[in-house]
Each structure stands twice: as C-alpha cells, then as structure tokens.
Amino acid sequence: MKLPQNVSQADFTAALKAFAGIVGDQWVFTTDEDLELYRDSYSLMWGEADERTASAAVAPDNADQVVELVKIANQYRIPIYPISTGKNLGYGGAAPAFAGSVVFDLKRMNRIVEIDERNGYVVVEPGVSYFDLHKYIQEKGLKLWIDCAGPGWGSLLGNALDGGLGYTLATYRSHFDAQCGIEVVLPNGRMMRTGMGALPGAKTWQQFKPGFGPRIDGLFKQSNYGVVTKMGFWLMPAPENHTTGVVTIPRFRDIIPLVDAIGRLEQSKIVQGLWNLSSPTTGTSGDGGPGGGASKQKDSKILAILNDPGGVDMDKLDAAAGAAGIPFWACEFNFYGPKKLIKAQWDCVRDALKEISGAKFKLDEIRALPLSPEELAKMRDAVTLGIPTLKTFDLGPMLSYEGEDVVGHIFFSPIIPRTGEAAIEAMDVFATIARKYKLPYPPVQFPASMFERAFMYVVALPVTRSPTVNAKIREMFRELVLIAAERGWGEYRTAPAFYDLIMGTYSYNDHALLEFLETIKDAVDPNGIMSAGRYAIWPRHLRDAKG
C-alpha cells in the first residue's frame, strides 16, 4: 500500500478506517486494481517515478459525509484530492496534483437537486454528467438545453471548476460564467454557500450571481480552496430552430478584416452562436476537428506547398488556391431561435462581411428542432444543439509519434488576441515548433472562438507510453509555453505536470498573484490538506520543501 508523504502508516491506517466509518468499507479503495482507475491515462509521466498517483480513494454519498471526511483528513493531515467525474482528459484526468493524495471521488453524488424550467436553471452535484442531465431533461420533457463540453461524460460542475467550455450561445459557453450559486465544504470542514445562498431560505440563489459583499465563487475555479458539493447553472430555453451559415473568403490575409467584422457583430450581440474557422485550402479547422464542414482540397499544387518541409508559404498557397478556385477560409456560424430572427441575424452577417472582396454566403436550411434522428446523424457533432456526445474523440489521425503508439493527448491551450494579425502570428509560431518536433499535424492550425473576446488555440500534443518520447513531448510543451509567454500569450488551463511551469509565467511584480493565492491558501487551509499543488498553489509545508 502506498503512503502519502509525511504520513505515518499508523495514521494512514487510522484515517482510512475513519473514512470507512463514514462512507462504508465498500467505498474506500486501496488495491492497485482499484487505484488504476485514478491514474491519468493521458499522463506524460506514465510509469515514471514522477507520475502522480493516488494512495487511496474514497467515494462519499453526500455533502455531510464530505464534511466528516474533511475533518478526518485534517485530524490525520491526509492530503486529499476531490474530483467530480475525473474526465478532464488532456488536462489531468482523475489523478491528483500531489502524489500520494487520497482521491475523493464524488461520482456517487450525482443528484439533480433542482431544475426549474421557468427560470431556466439547474442545481447539480459533482457526479452529474452532461449525459445524465440531458437524459433527465428528455425524460421530463423540459424545454431546456444544456451547453455541453466536448465529451458528454464529463461533470457539469467539474467542467465549470476546470474553466471548461461549450458550443451554444456565447452567454452559456464559458461554463464557470454560466454558474450561479455554489455550496462548498471548506478545507476546515465548514459548509458554506456563496451568493444569495448564504441567506437562509434564499429565493434567488440560482438567479442572482453577485450576492452581497465580495463575490467569491471565482476562488473555487482551478484551485484548492474547497470541495464544491453543489452548483447552480443557468440554462438556455430550447430554441425553435437551428441552422448554420457559411461565409467563404478567398485570401489568407483577409482573416484580418474577417475577424474584425465578426468581433463587432459579437460585441453588439448580433452573432451569439459559435462560429468556426476552417480552411478548404489546407483542410484544417479551428475547433481541433479535421476540416470542419468544408470539403477538403485535392489540388496537387496546394498539397505540394502544404507539405514543404521548410514550412508553408502562405503567399504561394493563396496563389495556388486562387488558381484552383478554392477559398482559403470558410467560416461557419450557428444560429438559434425563431426563423425571422435567424434570417435577420444572417442578413446582418452578410452586410458586415460583404465588403471583403470575394466573400460568398450560403445559409443552410433553417430546421425546426428537435431534429429527427436521421437529420442528427448527418451532423458533424450534435454538441452545438446542446446534445452531449463523445464525437470529440474522433479528433484525428494521430496514431503514432516517433515510432511509438499514441495513447492520448495533452492540450497546450494559449489565449491570444482576437485579431487576424495575432492569429497569423500564432499559426506561424506554433507551426515552427510543430515542424521542429516533427509532429504529424496539419501544417497550420486555426484559433477557436469559444471565448467571447479572445482566441484560444487547442494544440493537442501526443502522449505515448515511452518515457523517452514523453520526455521529448514535455520539452516541446515547455518550449511552447515559454515562447507563448514571451509574446504575451498565457494558457487558460493545463494538466498537473505543467501547473508550476505555467503559473511561473504569470509572474508580474515578482509573482504577486501566486503570493496572494498562497496567502489565501494558508489562511483557509492551515493544514494544507486539500488538493495540494493544484494549479500551482502549494500549502506552506510543501512550498517550503519545494523551494
């Protein structure tokens, strides 16, 4: 049996016994076989001494049990690591940030506590997945949509706490922003409710985000200041219709006026659905998927330019695409709602983009919702219709790297300005690294536009089972982070292996932000038991050891 650092065998045994006294023996896991489930199968340290694995796992049934478990952890100074469903693959999975932690697996806490069709909200426990909630809504016939993360097996609550994203209207896409009202067990075992939930018998806990006094919900995002046991979310009324409209733009550098014009439409709240850049010329798309809705090119000259080992010359590519009559950019917009509104919004898009020379417009048929199974089957991914899927795992054909099988991926996810110039710069920078490390990628990658005012790149790096190759990937990741930071681009999210590296780039005024986060950590978690190291926030005793 593994032991957490600095914990005696006697204390650990006593703690596990006390945990079992709360949750029952069958919900305390200590065998290698059971703990295998809490490894991060996409870890870049797989099988190495530095792989961060759990010493045990405990699965409580409810928030009161969490309170008791946290008190026991304090008593014996057991490092704990709560997870919701642990499905944030590519960002760490179920494995703890500090090796030897006891995972608190909250999957049994999977109650849909309250759902309100009229006011459009739901309150869930950590174990509720997008699939669970979608099924529940369908069964009850509620006219509500959820904004799903890519993989539908994820936890609403966990995804929000991790800073995750969805695919419907802008106001619902940033899941932590769509959250309203948190119940949390603090590291000292105190149960707390945020916002209006702090008022006993509150009637607007899920309807009013600011609350009274400081707004502390954000403290529980990407952090280790508490175990969130309930969370409210604002939901979208099921819309009547959906369609997509595609604008094609001939030339590469016309991404600059394109992004500017779309930005004004978004800032004016005229474009509110997700839009996605893809390229018929290069065959790549901005959401990580291959080629988007646009048909891929076949032109041999284009292929030759794309496969130039020295890098893609965009001017040559433009010329070849022009000669072949293939537009460089296709931009697909999603629209929701009454037909007349969709038509007006599409007309506004046309008006705003028509000045870009050669722009062409095509609105798909406006379809009444819900779609029939046949219509759904034709879609690339129903996630834009609020339907959870696992299609994101169809991502792409990265089967091997450096002669090793690729078993998964980790995401390098920088945030860059929402301008065409920045997108061009980022494509160039990241393509250079990809070539240097001989990644089996499309030669250019495009930014994703889920966030409202900034672009995100989601560069999936391969994970293998070879320590040598994985070390090389880690080096590449490190290089990407540092090159991005030099240019003023920071990551929004990462896996435990890179928490410290990336937090290190957020170093303004001698790391004032991290110092502040550590000050709060020491105050609210004096024994440093909770999720040590998560997002680079270490408790004092481990910080000192580290430094």
> At CA 387, angle to CA 209 and CA 37, rounded to 5?
85
- Toward its own copies, which CB reaches closer, 51 or 522? 522
Beta carbon of residue 348, minimum distance to its own copies (angstroms, whole number): 5
190 touches its own copies by CB under 8 A: yes
| Closest CB 85 distance from its own copies, rounded Å | 21
Residue whose entry in the numeric block shows the structure tokens 């169809």: 394
Sheet of strand 191-193: strand arrangement: 112-116, 121-124, 227-234, 179-185, 191-193
CA-to-CA separations, 362 to 352, 359, 476, in angstroms, rounded: 15, 10, 40
196-225 footprint of its own copies as x/- string (CB under 8 A):
xxxxxxxxx--xxxxxxxxxxxxxxxxx-x
**Contact predicate 109/126, CB 8 Å:** yes
Place of tokens 């988007």: 292
Residues 255-294 that bind its own copies (CB under 8 A): 260, 263-264, 267-270, 272
The interface with its own copies within residues 304-363 (CB under 8 A) comprises 336-338, 340-341, 343-345, 347-348, 351
Does position 492 interact with its own copies (CB under 8 A)? The reply is yes
Cα(296)–Cα(326) distance, integer angstroms: 9
| Active-site position among 42, 81, 91, 225 | 91
Binding to its own copies, residues 438-457 (CB under 8 A): 451, 453-454
- Is 532 within 8 Å of 101 (Cβ atoms)? yes
Using the rule CB under 8 A, which residue among 178, 495, 502, 532 binds its own copies?
502
Omega of the bond leading into 467 within 30 degrees of 0 (cis):
no
- Give the active site residue among 108, 350, 474, 492: 492
- Least separation in angstroms between residue 448's CB and its own copies is 13
Closest approach of its own copies to the CB of residue 347, in Å = 6
Of 316 and 343, CB closest to its own copies? 343
Nearest distance from C-beta of residue 209 to its own copies, angstroms:
8
Torsions phi, psi for 36 (to 5 deg): -55, -35
Of the candidates 52, 251, 493, 534, the residue annotated as catalytic is: 493
Residue from 412, 446, 451, 406 nearest 427 by CA: 446
- Contact flags string 391-430 toward its own copies, x per CB under 8 A: ------------------------xxxxx--x--------
Distance of CA 12 to CAs 23, 56, 73, 303, Å? 16, 10, 10, 60
> Which residues 453-482 are close enough to bind its own copies by CB under 8 A?
453-454
CB 165 within 8 A of CB 287: no
Query: Which of 341, 407 has the CB closer to its own copies?
Result: 341
> Catalytic residue at 91?
yes
- Which window, 48-56, 123-131, 168-176, 461-469, contacts its own copies (CB under 8 A)? 168-176
Tokens of 35: 């703990």
Looking at beta carbons only, is 341 or 542 nearer to its own copies? Answer: 341
Q: What pairs with residue 530 in β-bridges?
A: 80
492 in active site: yes
Which residue do the tokens 């001698």 mark? 510
Distance in angstroms between the alpha carbons of the first and the last residue of the chain: 29
Number of chain positions touching its own copies (CB under 8 A): 107
DSSP 8-state assignment for residue 486:
H
Site for its own copies in 118-157 (CB under 8 A): 118-121
- The catalytic residues are 91, 492-493
